Structure 1
């Protein structure tokens, strides 16, 4: 019965947005309340449940998205984005630009948390859009497909990293298998699939439109790349440094602090304010006005993400994910396929890839211990399922729709289908690896 109520709630959400034309934030709140009542959450607990969901999802994400928007705005207005896109075009040319963006997303995505990578790299995509006049969705999907692949398959991202010890897997071997699965997956879901999306009309947010600056007034290529990639370097460096400290507690504590995405973004924005702004003659008042403009566009996206967090918390608090898992656990399937299926169902219901992965892991962990299934491949199978069928209860869906300024139909045709391709190709590659090994 719980699965029926979840289906009713998701259908209601879709109808409120598409048919009733309600603002997505309001639609989320209405749907969350209806779902909470249907799923048996006490009336007096519903407001607290919604507040917990909104606060839990926006806690650090709001800061990261806002700082990332400011960072992207400065990269855009200073000419750094124009310099980067010009350099990329000289290196790759129009013919291979989608593959270059895919590789950029993959390399950056390995050490970078997904939401941080999203807000950092979307301005780069838009700068290439305005320079090449190529469709925004066509250029954006390859990069975001690569980010999704790293988020679901590769440590040190939260879900795969947490699953490794639960299954008794090996971190290094999981990473090697993950790379084998990731390369064909992101190629098919990225540049290959993107060829089908050239006709989607997208007008990206004006806040990321790069200023048209004469080449002799652009920051140097080194300054542009070094400053723009500084958050990546900081997080990648703090990921590797703990292995060089010899276990020193003080050093590990400091590295953990510096490596926190929020701290990284604060440091990166402070440095960028100087290297791309003040040192090149920009007045501090102009820079701050630019930051304010960036926040105005992000506010709507934050509200929608908050609404998605409220609905997700209703599903979590009601225990519906456990009910769904129990119903599926008795199905006789290949354990890898079963893990993928459970993660897929929970992903569709809850929206969060990380929550779907961790919840599915708790359900299938006994299968890993009681069968001869490869635990490293189970990590990847659940990772693939956790990326499936992103739709209106996923914050990534709304970030993509908002940043690319798309309608719902085109968001489903591009973002949702791309994520589904990642999940399907991912599990196929896992099953092939299982047969070979």
Structure 2
């Protein structure tokens, strides 16, 4: 970024809510993040409350009037929830429809029927990646654990040889591919093009998941050779159903929003005329709201009806799907409030000014910031929204492709080395009946591989785009 463009950004930026210098702002950021980390890790306070209190501490240390800091926080919270809240809700509904109808089981069973022997880890990556598109990571883990354990048990496979590819598929989708909450929040923060980010995200995700999944699973299986624990095999959803949806319609429903959003990106590139009728149609049809809403409506006919769900079961299903995301929405919203307070305090401009004198590339800076916050808080979502707020000003002078790569750099960094302060760490540990050391040697290393390979591919793409 040139000195002239930085000066132009400074001229256009709104007046900061504090007159603090760079040193005071830097201290404020470190103290604010330290408070968030301490509250989450030491006092086990919910991330929403931790982010709220950490934001107020940030404003106080930066010398911002309390009323202005509160206004920045609430403005950022409202803007973030308005931007991604409906999308998270629609994704949760689609995931619940997929799980309760037995559609997810149908995809799993169909793919496993075609796979065997050495191809089984690759089949698990495919299953997890497809299932992981509309599902939150935790939901995907709960959904796929029975399959992983049954395949490992019946096929006499090492649990890590089957489990690592499945976890890698879910984690890569969660960190790099919208419409997951993390990428959506980062896209909103840096004003990236969703279709381009989705296309590049898939491009980065494929080699990343291959390295971290099937390839690393060979090493992980040698490091931790454990059998599948019988006690963790729960009942599958479709065992309670007399029938379930067919494979083709189920797969088409899952992929529908992705196809619509990618189609919009392709039309934007080919036509490149905002007033053209075709482009205007695809701008609407390919918007994430319409794409996900279309998938939910189609799912009523392709998932619920074939499974025998009547109209009376639709509302309870939606309510059950929405209930678990309340916490996610609040965390994402509070992260948006934290981000807005960073920007309004002048921290974003400070990052711009400092990075102007550094030789470190903006994408690497974004990755490193996300890594630091991920290690400190244990939350990929908190790392994503906080890092996006810090580096958002860097996107102002970037091309469309590089802005999308900025989102992916943040997403890759947010997955780095999951450890004891991450709920996902304990989820994997308990489901696979591992000890802490075994979980570090498998799950934590896998997450680090995803982060490093994904971040490296983003930097490589930045050289050619």
Query: Could you state the TM-score of these two structures normalised by the residue count of structure 2?
Result: 0.67
Matched, 1:128 2:152: no
In the alignment, the residues of structure 2 paired with residue 26 and residue 176 of structure 1 have an alpha-carbon distance, to the nearest angstrom, of 34
Matched, 1:76 2:99: yes
5 Å-filtered alignment, 1:345-384, equals 345-347=368-370, 348=372, 351-352=384-385, 358-362=392-396, 382=406
Secondary structure in 1 aligned to 2:237? coil
| Maintained 8 Å contact 2:107/2:247 | yes
Q: What displacement does 1:34 show?
A: 0.7
In the alignment, the residues of structure 2 paired with residue 71 and residue 377 of structure 1 have an alpha-carbon distance, to the nearest angstrom, of 29
Q: What displacement does 1:31 show?
A: 0.9
5 Å-filtered alignment, 1:278-293, equals 278=305, 280-293=307-320
In the alignment, the residues of structure 2 paired with residue 427 and residue 391 of structure 1 have an alpha-carbon distance, to the nearest angstrom, of 10
In the alignment, the residues of structure 2 paired with residue 222 and residue 260 of structure 1 have an alpha-carbon distance, to the nearest angstrom, of 24
Note closer, same or farther for the CA distance 1:126–1:230 as it changes in structure 2 (3 Å cut). Answer: farther
Structure 1 residues without counterparts, runs of 5 or longer: 110-116, 165-170, 366-374
Deviation sequence 1:94-149 (CA, Å, 0-9, x none) = 7545534545777899xxxxxxx453787666443222326897423333325645
In the alignment, the residues of structure 1 paired with residue 97 and residue 207 of structure 2 have an alpha-carbon distance, to the nearest angstrom, of 34
Matched, 1:119 2:154: no
Note closer, same or farther for the CA distance 1:50–1:418 as it changes in structure 2 (3 Å cut). Answer: farther
5 Å-filtered alignment, 1:212-231, equals 212-213=239-240, 217-231=243-257
| Maintained 8 Å contact 2:261/2:288 | yes
Q: What displacement does 1:325 show?
A: 3.7
User: Which residue is equivalent to 1:35?
Assistant: 58
User: Which residue is equivalent to 2:260?
Assistant: 234
In the alignment, the residues of structure 1 paired with residue 64 and residue 298 of structure 2 have an alpha-carbon distance, to the nearest angstrom, of 47
Query: Could you state the TM-score of these two structures normalised by the residue count of structure 1?
Result: 0.70
Matched, 1:56 2:90: no
Deviation sequence 1:387-427 (CA, Å, 0-9, x none) = 354289xxxx99968998999x99x9688866654453355
2:452 aligned residue (417, 421, 424): 424
In the alignment, the residues of structure 2 paired with residue 284 and residue 403 of structure 1 have an alpha-carbon distance, to the nearest angstrom, of 35
In the alignment, the residues of structure 1 paired with residue 118 and residue 142 of structure 2 have an alpha-carbon distance, to the nearest angstrom, of 17
| Maintained 8 Å contact 1:245/1:252 | yes
In the alignment, the residues of structure 1 paired with residue 388 and residue 215 of structure 2 have an alpha-carbon distance, to the nearest angstrom, of 26
| Maintained 8 Å contact 2:175/2:415 | no
For these two proteins, the number of residue pairs brought into alignment is 394
Secondary structure in 2 aligned to 1:40? coil
Structure 2 residues without counterparts, runs of 5 or longer: 1-22, 153-158, 374-382
In the alignment, the residues of structure 1 paired with residue 254 and residue 450 of structure 2 have an alpha-carbon distance, to the nearest angstrom, of 27
